[in-house]
Homo-oligomer: A and B are copies of this chain.
Amino acid sequence: MHTIDNCIVVVTDIFRATSCMVTGLAYGVGSITPVATVEECMDLQQKGYIAAAERNAMKVEGFELDNSPFSYMDERLVGANIAMTTTNGTLSITKAKSAAVKVLVGAFLNLGAVANHLRSQPYDVLILCAGWKGRVNLEDTLYAGALVNALKDTYIIAEDSALLAARAYEQAQSDLLGYVSTSSHVRRLQRLGIHKDIAYCLQHDLYDVVPVLRGSTLVPM
């Protein structure tokens, strides 16, 4: 039985929190502080952070940034400290941080960089899929499968959930966009007109950045 206290936890929330984090840090954002609640986000905003708050895939009123990765490709954010709260992703990070050896942020956008880092580490790896309000979702599971596949020569697969994710990714990889278009969350996002974000978040290895949690803040490793 594997316990979280010997694990590096890789948190993923493909649509769209961790894809935003990877994009932002790749574009020169100074730090991103994930918080669980809108209130905490507001507190940090008052302390001078640029604040991003999303609930149910929409920006919360009174905050500067939404949850689109394209909003993070902004030169005004270079060096900035961002506070972020999202429906699923930031909660997973704040939950993981007390117990894990180290918390990393993963997305398809930095898949290879995270895998490269993990190959040299002496710990177990737990991939924490944020999902949707406590439930499994397709895109985070596929990311988990992609990372399991990338690590299969260095690690043993200890859980059937990881095996299932890896098989799902093998099945889906030739047409990820087609595969995820059947998912509930993707249908939800498409109703909001976020096609461009979806296609963007499914691209592999655009960036080399590996966001790591130091204290309560994500910075590039």
Q: Which residues of B contact A99 (CB under 8 A)?
A: none
Q: Chain A, interface size: which category?
A: 10 to 19
Contact present for A184 and B158 (CB under 8 Å): yes
Contact present for B168 and A183 (CB under 8 Å): no
Q: Which residues of B contact A168 (CB under 8 A)?
A: 164, 167-168
Q: How many copies does the complex hold?
A: 2
A109-162: which residues lie under 8 A (CB-CB) from chain B? 132, 135-138, 141, 158-161
Contact present for B167 and A171 (CB under 8 Å): yes
Q: Which residues of B contact A164 (CB under 8 A)?
A: 136, 138, 141, 164, 168
Check if A176 is an interface residue, CB within 8 A of chain B.
Answer: no
Check if A59 is an interface residue, CB within 8 A of chain B.
Answer: no
Q: Which residue of B lies closest to A138 (CB)?
A: B160
Contact present for B171 and A159 (CB under 8 Å): no
B-binding residues in A (CB < 8 A): 132, 135-138, 141, 158-161, 163-164, 167-168, 171, 182-185
**27 A-B contacts, Cβ less than 8 Å apart?**
A132-B160, A135-B159, A135-B160, A135-B161, A136-B159, A136-B160, A136-B161, A136-B164, A137-B160, A138-B160, A138-B163, A138-B164, A141-B160, A141-B164, A158-B184, A159-B184, A160-B183, A160-B184, A160-B185, A163-B182, A163-B183, A164-B164, A164-B168, A167-B168, A167-B171, A168-B168, A171-B171
